[in-house]
Amino acid sequence: MAQVNPSSQDLPRPSIAIIGCGSLGTAILQGLLDAKEPKVQPTKIRATVTSESSANTLRKAFENNAIEVEVSQGQNVAAAKESDAIILACPPNVMSEVLSEAGIREALQHKLLISVLAGVDRASLETAIYGDKTTSQNAADRCWVVRAMPNLAASMGASTTAIEVSDPMLLADKAKLVDSIWEQLGGIVHVPASLMNASTVLCGSTPAFIALFMDGLIDGAVAAGVPRAKADAMAAQVLASTAALLKQGQRPSTLRESVCAMPGCTIQGNISLEEGGVRGASAKAMKLAIDAASQLG
């Protein structure tokens, strides 16, 4: 459970709404509550869902926190009206319905609307609310729309989040709040709008690709006699070890070459992977997923 530090007066202290608090929204909520070194200290978090059973599940999961969590079925407009920053986490195919609710435009005025909807560009979000795209000429009475794409590791403060560079540019306090929210949930990178679909796949989708690959490695270890629980534990630590090396600045190709001594077992395994077309299949998977992301909106 996160403990609010009353001496941290310099941290942003917004109230936050998560509209459409499904799997990703719940991961974001968990990460906001559990941060060991907070970058932002929400005064209250409001989460909305579509069914009462989902609301009851979330209420039970997030009761007795230092930060109050209010969960409601529907009530999107009320949650937005009573919050400083709104994270839109509903399914992309209901975005227009959510953002065209009566009163939502007024509830969002001058506030941050941070979308984590894969493939839905900023113009589509703004058009759903206002009927047209926001420009420097009409921005004065609108909300500030920002796109971000984290992954489920946000629940542990270990996400990678791509944040779209805003145009018009965010006010300094708004930009600080956006960065603070996502830095609390892991690392961030700012990218132009043209790279957001690719970043969505790289940040949001690749954990599933990597998990599929790791599943095969674990099966191979089990086939050689390693108990599955031990293979799972070792594989998880290997991922952490590899990530640590890459974060120090090593490129994947350099890391691969440094491990592949000749002769040795690693180079033999790598030859088999190359024969199986792993790199080509990985690149094709990324391209297909990026193309699919561009069609989601």
Model-level pTM? 0.85
Nearest to 76, CA basis, from 101, 40, 55, 94: 101
Lowest mean pLDDT, pick from 57-61, 183-187, 202-206, 261-265:
261-265
Question: Are 77 and 47 within 8 A, CB to CB?
Answer: no
The one-letter amino acid at 147: R
As a whole number, the mean pLDDT across the chain is: 91
The one-letter amino acid at 239: L
Name residues whose C-beta falls within 8 Å of residue 236's C-beta, 6 or more positions apart in sequence: none
**What's the rounded Cα separation, in Å, for the pair 81 and 105?**
10
In the beta sheet, which residues pair with residue 109?
none
Q: Which two tokens stand for residue 65?
A: 């926190």
Give exposure, 82-120, as e/b (b: 16+ Cβ within 10 Å): ebbbbbbbbebeebeebbeeeebbebbeebbbbbbbbbb
Q: Please report the sign of the dihedral spanned by the C-alpha atoms of residue 203, residue 205, residue 209, residue 215.
A: positive
For residue range 93-113, what is the model confidence (pLDDT) as tens digits? Answer: 999 999 999 999 999 999 999
Task: Look at residue 6 in the predicted model and tell me its pLDDT.
Answer: 44
pLDDT band at 297 (very low <50, low <70, confident <90, very high): low
For residue range 195-223, what is the model confidence (pLDDT) as tens digits? Answer: 999 998 999 889 999 999 999 999 999 99
Question: Are 42 and 15 within 8 A, CB to CB?
Answer: yes
Rg (CA), the chain: 21
Task: Look at residue 140 in the predicted model and tell me its pLDDT.
Answer: 86
